[in-house]
Amino acid sequence: MFPVCFTQKKKRMMSFSFRFFALLLCLPVLLSACSEIEFGSHLVKTWEGEAAPRSASKGTFKVGKPYTIAGRTYYPKETYNYVETGISSWYGPGFHGKKTASGETYSQYEMTAAHRTLQMPSLVRVTNLSNGKSVVVRVNDRGPFAKGRIIDVSERAAALLDMKRAGTAKVRLELLADESRALAMAAKNGMSTRGAEVAYNKTGQLPSAYQQYARSQPVAAYSGPIISDVPMSEPELVQTAQVEDISGHVSNGHFYPNPVVQQQPISSTSLYVQAGAFGSEANAQNLAVRMASIAPTKVEPVTFNGKALYKVRLGPLDTVRQADTVLGKVLAAGQSDAIIVVQ
């Protein structure tokens, strides 16, 4: 019996050694595959599985390569001249605690946002054009990928903009050039930028720890009317980077954000679906005729980079829901680059 047992034991040990060695050989491939799956699942925002571990406090700067979602290719770019109007959405509980495209851990209670192409980090002022409420968010994620949306703000930012209940809002995005450059330089030098947006909302300038990277003098603190902040409830605790001048209540190493909402002037705006833009007026007119059965259509001439351009727009439309419906019909008609615009 002894020789038999010894032989079986030896075979089991050899089998285990072989499996272990094979696992080591396959490990890089498995890790690469897992990384691709995680990235893909993030981009389409399917929030299943275990929460990602909290990211380290070290800063990270990221632009990223072109990527394709649902047949549409996006081209991330580092830029400091960016203004856009359109529809904002928000995201929160389903992604809370998961990893963002920048590598940070997402918190629905922070003043952050997802954008499809802006560098991470960036500081962007988001203004709700329906009520004039305005806050500054820090871009640290990619999205939104729903048609007709230009930015996905955190649940916290959505509440402050008074768009949480509606789910969407007409917004204007304005990238803060000097502040975004400073944050980019700080991140490139390994400095965490988490929490910088909270300080900026309170004081109108970045914390002093980032001033060494700023190209110009800090913007003066906002002195206009202030809208009362939305009350916070447990467990809205956010751990932030250890930077100076961050306003708010700190308790046991956690931070209760208390950003200030600015009130911007309100002006009348309208929603349109832009079906296409052409260098030829005849081509624009032909598309306008094709689209006329969907909604009232007009051809709008503009000048872009010194050249005439003709935009085909459907509208005006009364609500975001109506704009979504019209956009769906335009896309179904073959105009894959159609977008919702606010004018």
Block means of pLDDT (10 residues each) for the chain, length 343 residues?
46 48 42 32 36 53 92 92 94 91 92 96 95 95 93 95 95 94 93 91 87 59 30 27 34 47 87 94 96 96 90 96 96 93 92
Determine whether 331 is exposed, middle or buried from the number of CB atoms within 10 Å of its CB (0-12, 13-18, 19+).
middle
- Structural contact between residues 120 and 180, judged by C-beta atoms closer than 8 angstroms: no
Please report the sign of the dihedral spanned by the C-alpha atoms of residue 62, residue 66, residue 69, residue 74. Answer: positive
Return the sign of the alpha-carbon dihedral for residues 47, 48, 51, 57.
Answer: negative
CB 333 within 8 A of CB 326: no
- Sequence spans of domains, the chain: 67-263, 271-342
CA angle at residue 191 from 190 to 197, to 5 degrees? 140
What are the φ/ψ torsions at residue 278 (nearest 5 degrees)? -135, 150
How many Cα atoms are found within 13 Å in the side-chain-facing hemisphere of 194?
Answer: 25
Q: What is the pTM of this model?
A: 0.72
Residue 211's pLDDT is 80
Report residue 91: phi and psi, to 5°.
-140, 150
Architecture, CATH, for domain 271-342: 2-Layer Sandwich (3.30)
Given 3.40.50.300, 3.30.1360.120, 3.90.870.10, 2.40.40.10, which CATH number is that of 67-263?
2.40.40.10
pLDDT of residue 204: 87
